[in-house]
Structures are given as C-alpha cells and as structure tokens.
C-alpha cells in the first residue's frame, strides 16, 4: 500500500471539512429563503394549520442545518488546531497520531447520527400535527419532504468525507 504524505492527508481533511461547512452554511441560507418565501406566499392564510405545520418542520430543518454546520466547523477547527505548520514535525506527528483521520471519522459519525435525528424529528412533527390538528398534516408532510433534502445533503457530504481518507 502506498504511503500518503502527511501534508496531503491534512489537506484532504481540511478540504473535506471546509466543503462540508460551506455546503451546510448554504443549506441554512436556502432553508431561510424557503421559509421566507412560504411566509410571503401565505398572505392572509399565515395562521392556518398547513402553513404553521410546514413552517414548524422547516424550523427543525434550520436548527439541524445549523447543528450540522457546527459539527463540520468543529472538525475543521480540530484539524487546523492540532496539525501545526505544513511540513513541520508537528504536522507529521499529528498524522502519526491519526488526527486528520479521526476528525474525518468523527465528523462522519456525527453526521450519521444527525441524519437519524432529522428523520425522527420529521416523523415526530407529522405525528404531533396528526394528533393536534389533522388539517396540518399536509403542511407537515411538505415541510418534511423539504427537510429530508437536508438528510440527502448530509449523506452526500458524509460520503465525500469518508472518501477523502
């Protein structure tokens, strides 16, 4: 098996975490835009159950996207803080102690947990709306479909992180 230089492993970890952080920050902006568009299109129907249900699920998505961006940012900070200058003995020691690989695996594992949390939250919100006001189910389902796109984005980012090893 070919040995990869220390700086290459570090660069891969930094690039993968940076890409995840930027993508998830963009997801936060997109979800905010979708919520704003839904609010502006609702007009006088703003307080109806379908609109309220859909926006409640989008709120869950927004929080989860912020948490995911925080996870990616923490992974990036860990790599940057612990590797030192490129080409230095500190960076070689960090690679020998598996800092970049551990950071990538930890971030990927946290993304996997968050994906499950998001799916569970969508099911929970739909169930709550089914019990509270059946008229809100359609809005909750539509909001959940939009929210599940965040799960797809996290899955793609997770694969990208693991392939950077």
Q: pLDDT at position 4, please?
A: 86
> Which of 110, 129, 93, 120 has the alpha carbon at shortest distance from 17?
110
Distance separating alpha carbons of residues 54 and 58, to the nearest angstrom? 6
Q: pLDDT at position 134, please?
A: 94
Q: Give me the chain's average pLDDT, please.
A: 94
Give the lowest-confidence range in 9-18, 52-61, 85-94: 85-94
Residue 165 banded pLDDT, cuts 50, 70, 90: confident
Non-local CB neighbours of 12 within 8 Å, separated by 6+ positions: 100, 164, 165
Q: pLDDT at position 133, please?
A: 94
Which 3 state secondary structure label does DSSP give 5?
Answer: coil
Mean pLDDT of 37-58: 89
Residue 3 banded pLDDT, cuts 50, 70, 90: confident
Of residues 73 and 39, the one with the higher pLDDT is 73
Distance separating alpha carbons of residues 10 and 29, to the nearest angstrom? 29
> Which of 162, 58, 148, 147 has the alpha carbon at shortest distance from 110?
162
Mean pLDDT of 3-12: 91
Which 3 state secondary structure label does DSSP give 124?
Answer: helix
Residue 44: count other Cβ atoms within 10 Å of its Cβ: 6
Residue 12 pLDDT greater than 90, yes or no: yes
Mean pLDDT of 21-48: 91
Q: pLDDT at position 84, please?
A: 84
Mean pLDDT of 103-113: 98
Residue 141 pLDDT greater than 80, yes or no: yes
Q: pLDDT at position 163, please?
A: 97
Q: pLDDT at position 1, please?
A: 53
pTM summary value: 0.94
């Amino acid at each position: 098996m070919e040995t990869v230089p220390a700086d290459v492993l570090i660069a891969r970890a930094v690039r993968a975490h940076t890409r995840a952080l930027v993508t998830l920050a963009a997801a936060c902006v997109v979800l905010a835009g979708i919520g704003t568009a839904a609010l502006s299109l609702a007009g006088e129907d703003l307080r109806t159950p379908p609109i309220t249900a859909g926006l409640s699920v989008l709120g869950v998505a927004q929080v989860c996207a912020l948490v995911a961006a925080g996870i990616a940012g923490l992974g990036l900070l860990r790599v940057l803080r612990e590797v030192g200058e490129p080409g230095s003995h500190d960076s070689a020691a960090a690679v020998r102690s598996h800092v970049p690989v551990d950071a990538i695996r930890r971030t990927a594992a946290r993304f996997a947990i968050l994906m499950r949390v998001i799916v569970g939250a969508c099911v929970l919100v739909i169930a709550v709306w089914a019990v509270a006001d059946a008229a809100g189910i359609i809005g909750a389902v539509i909001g959940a479909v939009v929210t599940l796109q965040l799960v797809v984005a996290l899955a793609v980012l997770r694969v990208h992180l693991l392939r950077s090893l």
